[in-house]
Amino acid sequence: MNEANISLEERDAIFTRLRRYLWCMDTGNISAVPTNFTADATIRDVTGKLWNAETGGVPGFANHFLAASNRPWGQHWIQHMSVQDAGDGKILVISYWTGLATDPATTERSVRHIGCHRDTMIKIDGTWLIAKKIIDPWNADTITELGPMI
């Protein structure tokens, strides 16, 4: 894949969408999470589970991770590393992420996860949305899947 040749305004719109998704996750806004995705979007979560129409899709993913009674307060930090042309009007954004957590019972803070997001974005009716999200932990297996950025 080649680096995407898109305007700064388009990149900003894409990055804004990805930040909105994380804001919804960090603030526990289950009903708003799906507004960042296409209707038929798929997610492969950090455990490797695929969330598609048969497994509850984006709403199922959001409910699974955000409605858990023992869910720590979380905050994601993201750094976009690459914006690539994925063909057919789609853009692939590869980002590093760090998940910070605060235990609600003890207020102890820790780095919970580090990883890589691969988001396939598509513009629908003038709005960039996430069509496919892959959330990988950072380890020897997942970094080899990424391949070279160049």
What's the pLDDT at 150?
44
Burial class (CB in 10 A: 0-12, 13-18, 19+), 99: buried
In this structure, what is the dihedral angle of CA atoms 122, 146, 78, 62, given to the nearest 10 degrees?
60
What's the pLDDT at 138?
84
The first and second tokens of residue 106, run together, are 């003890």
Spell out the residues 6+ positions from residue 60 whose beta carbon is closer than 8 angstroms to its own: 51
What's the pLDDT at 143?
63
User: Running DSSP on this structure, what letter comes out for residue 17?
Assistant: H
Signed CA dihedral, 60, 63, 66, 68: sign only: negative
Residue given tokens 């699974």 in the structure block: 64
Confidence of residue 139 (pLDDT cuts 50, 70, 90): confident
User: Of 71 and 107, which is predicted with more confidence?
Assistant: 107
| Distance between CA atoms of residues 145 and 129, nearest Å | 24
Neighbours of 28 (CB within 10 A): 15
Q: pTM value?
A: 0.87
